[in-house]
């Protein structure tokens, strides 16, 4: 489980989302401000920004190094580790697959960032992890649960599934199979029946070419004459998340699930609990907990730093 916390240890956490975010972390708390790159916009203004996805790999590496240097300014020699969280399959410092940042596929991020930081006078070790795992670690830290097993669903452009403590295996819970319907082929990876193919923001836009996801749920939630097609999809959306959660419970047992991401605005927690109760019937497995939490990049930054700290301690 988690190592004991060193309140004096300085690390830097980094998150690749629409932009690159980084912060200096001391004692599992943000010290100073959250930095972002490319510069020119506050982090809160960047939700719909595609700056990062349009950047070539070399530019992404440069951006990571620059924002780390900015976060570490004045502490370059005392930074113990740098944790970098990104959306994709990561193993041994290499991005094996990254559907949302396809230019990073095959990139040796750990090696290249280490070289780039060394040129800027930062010789800290570098740790790479999935962004959903970083969210899980950040939530564990903020809720004082670093000695507990927690899981987190992140509902956004794709669907993230994070675990803490970290697993050495490569996995993508957002691509869990939740339906055998051959028509369910909206997932960006090309697979059929995937959770992300139903719940992912990009997948919803493909499914409803004439409506945005916000309009779909608004039409489903109308008190008078809800749109039947939209209401049916709302139920499918919740059934899919319940099915993936139930599968995790049957594999790993009950426990705490956090649910976050910008599309938690569509979540009807009571509907989700009802479907989940229908799927998990064995009493020893019914001790699970669902908690909706606000999505923010600072939590992921802290989680990335926690991962880097624990990697140094191994």
Query: Parallel, antiparallel, or unpaired: how do β-strands 125-130 and 79-86 relate?
Result: parallel
Q: What is the mean pLDDT of the chain?
A: 91
Q: What is the pLDDT of residues 210-249, one digit of tens each?
A: 999 999 999 999 999 999 999 999 999 999 999 999 999 9
Domain that includes residue 72, residue range = 10-130+296-313
CATH of residue 223's domain is 3.30.420.40
> What is the number of domains present in the chain?
2
Residue 39 corresponds to which tokens in the numbers above? 């510069």
231's tokens: 């209401």
Answer whether residue 133 shows pLDDT above 90. Answer: yes
Q: Which of 8-12, 22-26, 193-197 has the lowest mean pLDDT?
A: 8-12
- pLDDT attached to residue 98: 86
Same domain, 187 and 87: no
In a domain? residue 242: yes
pLDDT over threshold 50, residue 293 = yes
Q: Provide the pLDDT for residue 170.
A: 59
The two tokens of residue 301 are 């930054």
Could you tell me the two tokens for 257? Answer: 């699930």
List strands edge to edge, sheet with 79-86.
29-37, 20-26, 10-16, 79-86, 125-130
**Interval 133-157 mean pLDDT:** 92
Residues 53 and 119 in one domain: yes
pLDDT of residue 47: 44
- Give just the sign of the alpha carbon dihedral 216, 221, 222, 227: positive
pTM of the model: 0.86
Verify that 152 and 259 share a domain, yes or no.
yes
């Amino acid at each position: 489980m988690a190592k004991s916390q060193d309140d004096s240890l300085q690390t830097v956490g980094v998150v690749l989302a629409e932009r690159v975010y980084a912060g200096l972390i001391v004692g599992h708390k943000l010290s100073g401000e959250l930095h972002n790159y490319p510069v020119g916009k506050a982090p809160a203004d960047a939700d719909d920004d595609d700056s990062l996805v349009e950047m070539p790999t070399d530019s992404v590496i440069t951006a990571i190094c620059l924002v780390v240097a900015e976060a570490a300014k004045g502490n370059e020699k005392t930074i113990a580790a740098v944790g970098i969280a990104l959306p994709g399959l990561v193993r041994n410092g290499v991005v094996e697959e990254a559907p949302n940042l396809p230019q990073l596929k095959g990139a040796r991020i750990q090696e290249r960032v280490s070289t780039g930081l060394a040129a800027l006078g930062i010789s800290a070790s570098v740790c790479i992890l999935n962004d959903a795992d970083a969210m899980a670690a950040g939530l564990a830290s903020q809720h004082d649960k670093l000695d507990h097993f927690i899981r987190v669903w992140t509902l956004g452009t794709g669907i993230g599934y994070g675990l803490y403590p970290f697993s050495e295996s490569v996995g993508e819970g957002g691509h869990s199979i939740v339906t055998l319907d051959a028509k369910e082929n909206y997932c960006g990876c090309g697979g059929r029946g995937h959770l992300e193919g139903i719940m992912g923001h990009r997948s919803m836009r493909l499914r409803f070419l004439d409506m945005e996801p916000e309009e779909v749920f608004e039409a489903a939630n109308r008190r008078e004459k809800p749109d039947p097609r939209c209401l049916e999809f709302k139920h499918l959306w919740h059934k899919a998340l319940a099915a993936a959660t139930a599968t995790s419970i049957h594999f790993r047992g009950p426990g705490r699930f956090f649910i976050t991401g910008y599309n938690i605005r569509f979540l009807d927690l009571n509907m989700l609990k009802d479907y989940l109760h229908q799927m998990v019937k064995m009493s020893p497995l019914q001790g699970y907990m669902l908690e909706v939490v606000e999505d923010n990049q600072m939590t992921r930054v802290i989680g990335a730093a926690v991962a880097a700290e624990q990697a140094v301690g191994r």
